[in-house]
Structure 1
Amino acid sequence: MFCVLKMFDHYGDYGTAETTYIREPKGGGFTDLLPGGVTFIELNLEKGTYKVKDRDGCLIVFSTVSRGDELTDLEFRRELFNSATDSAYHYGAKDAFVIEGPVKTSVDEYEAELLKEERAIRNEGDFE
């Protein structure tokens, strides 16, 4: 049995961030939480949220990531992705996939695409 906790953090003018997470059981570990270690991650860049679900679609983690004005869309996407994958692996994921509509992409492939985009932006910069 697992205990689900919901927290709200208030960040002044930035608004409220909501986090739902599973508290570790008294016996320790989350080995029964993700049978087979398969996890699906849904990112919502507009709302700044991510969901981590098991293979049956049951919600494991739902969290909000606050976005500062200084972050570009790509930097925020990276931050959201990193938070989501950290959560997924914390709860025992071995194989994680990012879901965008009907497309499922492994986190390794998704991160490789992010790296390509980040490199392209760095290379576009005019450094003197």
Structure 2
Amino acid sequence: MQRIKAIKCIYLLIILLLVGCATGSSIIVGEVREAIDPGQVKLYIEIPESYEIIGIVTASSDAGWTEQGSVNYAVEELKNQAAKLGANGVLIESTGGQTYNVIGGHGTGYLYSIPVTAKSVTGKAIYVNK
């Protein structure tokens, strides 16, 4: 009986990892430029010397084996959103997270759930003049 519960838990975790993903969005507030490769987008925590604001970008993710893994996926999606606007930088404004429970099934008269933490990142998509 315990073995069946363990197999169900493993099966559910695999499904969660496959389904978990990063999502993002943007709000345009400036002049959009030609899209660039997300690998060219640099993260900033301090204001660069000369830049233009293109938009506000947000991303969140519940994927990853760890909370840091979820943050990493969210940051990659943040860069993707900025790159679509032609921004070569993101000025990070906030990070956060939310934990929710995914119902896994039931055993002998009880339900079990798995806590999942979604991490989020918000910033300004900027074009840094070099």
TM-score, scaled to structure 2: 0.31
Greater relative contact order (Cα < 8 A, sep 6+): 2
Q: Which has the higher strand share?
A: 2
TM-score, scaled to structure 1: 0.31
Largest Rg, 1 or 2: 2
